[in-house]
């Protein structure tokens, strides 16, 4: 189970805020929705879902912003979009995996909102959803990711 070479450290672009992951991730995803396109200035956002008790901010403090101000955490200096804490789902944190000092291994396992994707935007995700998975779909996806997900 713990072949993930944890812990992982990471930071925003300027280095003012640092984070650490100490438990295996639950899921790796790319989201094509137009909101993520705007927030990421890119074709998709990337997410590594990690258990809340396996995630900590080890240096600095984030500020919150975005359309849902309670959710999205940014570096106050460089304004990098670092992670998201969805309200009412406090058992996980959606970390942007590009924060990790070494994120070269990251591969999205799931992609969401393909209904809104740019026509040329293709990812290697093996599970695609026009919007998001139904709630009962998550547990099998998490179990499949534990077995098959690409590790560092
Ligand atoms: Zn920063
Ligand atoms: Zn999205």
pLDDT (mean) for 84-94: 94
37/39 Cα distance (integer angstroms): 6
Burial class (CB in 10 A: 0-12, 13-18, 19+), 128: middle
The percentage of the chain sitting over the pLDDT mark of 90, rounded to a whole number, equals 92
Taking only the tens place, the pLDDT of each residue in 4-28 is 999 999 999 999 999 999 999 999 9
pLDDT at residue number 60: 98
Torsion of CA 145, 72, 37, 54, to 10 degrees: -20
pLDDT at residue number 13: 98
Distance 30 CA to ligand 2 centre (A): 8
Distance 144 CA to ligand 1 centre (A): 34
> What is the average pLDDT score of the chain?
96
Distance 35 CA to ligand 1 centre (A): 22
Distance 148 CA to ligand 2 centre (A): 23
Distance 131 CA to ligand 2 centre (A): 9
Identify which ligand lies nearest to the alpha carbon of 19. 1
pLDDT at residue number 12: 98
Taking only the tens place, the pLDDT of each residue in 100-130 is 999 999 999 999 999 999 999 999 999 999 9
């Amino acid at each position: 189970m713990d072949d993930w070479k944890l812990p992982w450290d990471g930071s925003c672009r300027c280095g003012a805020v640092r984070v650490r992951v100490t438990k295996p991730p639950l899921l790796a995803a790319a989201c094509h929705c137009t909101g993520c396109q705007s927030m990421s200035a890119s074709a998709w956002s990337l997410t590594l879902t990690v258990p809340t008790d396996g995630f900590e901010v080890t240096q600095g403090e984030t500020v919150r912003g975005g359309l849902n101000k309670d959710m999205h955490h940014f570096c106050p200096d460089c304004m990098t979009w670092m992670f998201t804490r969805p309200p009412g789902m406090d058992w996980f944190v959606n970390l942007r995996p590009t924060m990790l000092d070494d994120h070269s291994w990251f591969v999205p396992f799931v992609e969401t909102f393909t209904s809104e994707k740019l026509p040329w935007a293709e990812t290697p995700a093996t599970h695609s959803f026009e919007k998001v998975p139904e709630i009962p779909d998550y547990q099998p996806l998490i179990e499949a990711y534990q077995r098959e997900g690409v590790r560092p």
